[in-house]
Every structure is written in structure tokens, then in C-alpha cells.
Amino acid sequence: MGCFFSKKSRRKSPKKDSALPDGDESATGNDLPESNNTALGSDNNQEAPKQYSWDKREKVDPKDFMLTGLKNETVGRLPGKLNGQQFVIQDCENCNIYVFDHSATITIDDCVNCRIMLGPVKGSVFFRDCKDIKCVVACQQFRTRDCKKMDVFLCCATQPIIESSTGMKFGCYQYYYPELAFHFKDAGLSIFNNNWSNIHDFTPVSGETNWSLLPEDAVVLECVPLPDPESEFKSVRISTEASRSIVPLTKGGRRTESEESCLFVFFAGDYTTANARKLIDEATTKGFVLIQTKEVSMRPEDVNRVFQSNAESLTEWITKGPVVALELNGDGVVEACRSIANEVFNGAKLFVSESKNTSSRDVDNFFNFADMQMGL
């Protein structure tokens, strides 16, 4: 029994003599009423043509949304330059590339020996025919095809996929710059939904391993350095420390040192994200390890299935939004989490495993449900 506490490229402007939109044949100044034409007495004084929405759109230069054919350069985009547009990187060699903005999708083709940092991507990030790449990526979908030797610090909402790729190494996303939290929100990504270690190899080879996990002590700056102080990105305040990272550092699929885990769930409220971060700080300071996190919506039937005997008391708490769940691991973690809940989060709407005898079941019930909910 658990314990609970209370865009794509723009259309060009129509030419002056181009056809009008269907059903709007009287939309020009040439079709003024006869009496009005007579009163004006001159064709030069006719009404100005009506403006349409596409006439007022800001013109987009495709070159602003691609990097191509570069060598030995530090390049990228500052915050506010992409604003959710698609972006393309291709045929770059020995470059440091920084995209400090959110985007729709990003494709990276035929790049060699590059260090790449990509801000949150609402859709997919697709690497093709690349080799010797080190990158930091946050996205909805991550995929590689025909790639060799990539080190990826990843936050991915779905299961990352590699295809015909070898020498792939993955670690948990660790990064911060001031606008990053807003960019995650603009891209529709949750910092708690990160499947960085749950890799699917679309083309496995018997007896060979095409991917592995980076060492736990892997350092982002050794893979993707800070921008050159002389570059246009010198003013961006960056941190790669785990304690500053927007995305919580999780152990993922690595082997745990303890058989004891605890499920800790925050129900929607004004401070859910802040409370989850506070819990992580409190627990890791005590030596416990964060295994995984999830943010998902729940229905009453989901509450019944996951929380079982406690469901009746918890059902009313799911109506205000998604829940944030964390799995913490270590000997004595259940007792420690219950103490933290009482001392730090007294009055907050949350659930904590009641004992180590039931905590494994709690963890399995919740995260199996969450994975099914997210199609993992």
C-alpha cells in the first residue's frame, strides 16, 4: 500500500497580374462601382489593391535555415533566429555548430568530424551519412542512417533509432543556456520524458554491437566544447554541469547498484517541476541515484491500474494535468523518500512507495503504464 500526501517555406507574394484566389473576383480597385469611377474622374486615383495575408508575411530566405559546405568554422544560430522553422546542416567538415533555438525538424547529412549542439526540436533529428560526430541533441524523434562513430548526449521523447550505423555511443543530455527552458516548451518537449538509453537498432548484426552507453563520468565539454570566445556566440551563457542541466541526469539502462527503488509521483500543481527538481537535489545529496522520470496524463482507469488500493484517494488529483514520476534507487531509499516527503513537501499532492516490499511493484506498474501510454 503506497503513501500519499495531501513551418515550412512561405508562399511568394502574388504578382500584379496573377490570378486572384478562387471566389474573389471583385477584390481589385479596377472593379469600383461606375458612379465612383465617374466621381473620381481619373484612373490614377483609384483605390489601392486589397492586401492579402500572404502579402504581409515576412519574406524567408532559405539560406537562413541551412548550413552547407563549411570547413573549419564555428557557426550556428543565436536564440530567436529559427523560431520553430526547419533547419538543414550538410557537407560540413571539422566545424563547431551551435543552434541555440527551437526548430521543427533538423537533418544533418554528409558531415565529418563536427561538434554539434542542437536546441530543442519539435519533430525529428535525422543524421545521414555522417561520421566522427559528437553532439548534444533534444528532440521528439532521433534517428541515424549510415553513420559511423557518434557520441550523442541525448534527450529524446521516443525510442531513438539507429539504422546501418556503427560505433554509436549515447549519454544523458546535460546542458543549459538561459532560453533553453522556454525552447523546450515551444518545442512541446517535456524535460522528464527522456529515453536516451532505450536504443532500437533497426539493422542489428549477429555477434556485433553497433551501439553502447557512454561512461557515466563522460563530460559534455570534452565532446562539444564551448563556442570560441571570438565567435558570435560568446554572449550565450552556457553550463554543462549536471546540477544546472535543464534535463535531469538519469542512469537510464545502466545496471543499478541496489535492488531497492522507490516510486515518487507529483500530481499537477503550480510547482510540480520545481518540486521534482527539489526532490532530485535532496535525494542525490543523500547518495541516491535517479534512474528514470516520466511526465504523462492519467485517466481514472489508469489510476486504478497503477495505484490499485490507493486509487480512490488519488483519482481527484489527476484532473489538473499530467503527473511527474521519478524512480530513485539505493539502499534505504524508500524510507528516505518518505522522510523527504514529510519534511520538504508536506501538503503537496504526491504519492510515495510505502515500503521496500511493495516499491518494486509500484515502479513497474507506473513505468510500464507510462511506456505504453507513450508507445514505447
Annotated binding site for GTP, which residues?
Answer: 123-124, 140-143
CA dihedral 339, 287, 181, 134 (to 10 degrees): -160
Residue ranges for the binding site?
Answer: 123-124, 140-143
Q: Which of 278, 235, 264 is nearest to 2 (CA)?
A: 264
Strands 148-156 and 131-145: parallel
Q: What is the dihedral of CA 278, 280, 286, 290, to 10 degrees?
A: 170
Q: Quote the CA–CA distance of 28 and 164 in Å, as a whole number.
A: 57
Q: Can you read off the three cell numbers belonging to residue 272?
A: 510540480
10 Å Cβ neighbour count for 234?
Answer: 10
Give the integer Cα–Cα distance in Å for 277 and 157: 19
3-state SS, the chain, equals CCEEECCCCCCCCCCCCCCCCCCCCCCCHHHCCHHHHHHHCCHHHCCCCCCCHHHHCCCCCHHHHEEECCECCEEEECCCCCCCCCEEEECCECCEEEECCCECCEEEECCEEEEEEEEEEEEEEEEECCEEEEEEEEEEEEEEECCEEEEEEEEECCCCEEECCEEEEEEECCCECCCHHHHHHHCCCCCCCCCCCCCEECCCCCCCCCEEECCCCCCHHHHCCCCCCCCCCCCCCCECCCCCCCCCCCCCCCCCCCCCEEEEEECCCCCHHHHHHHHHHHHHHCCCEEEEEEEECCCHHHHHHHHHHHHHHHHHHHCCCCEEEEEEECCCHHHHHHHHHHHHCCCCCEEECCCHHHHHHHHHHHHHHHHHHCCC
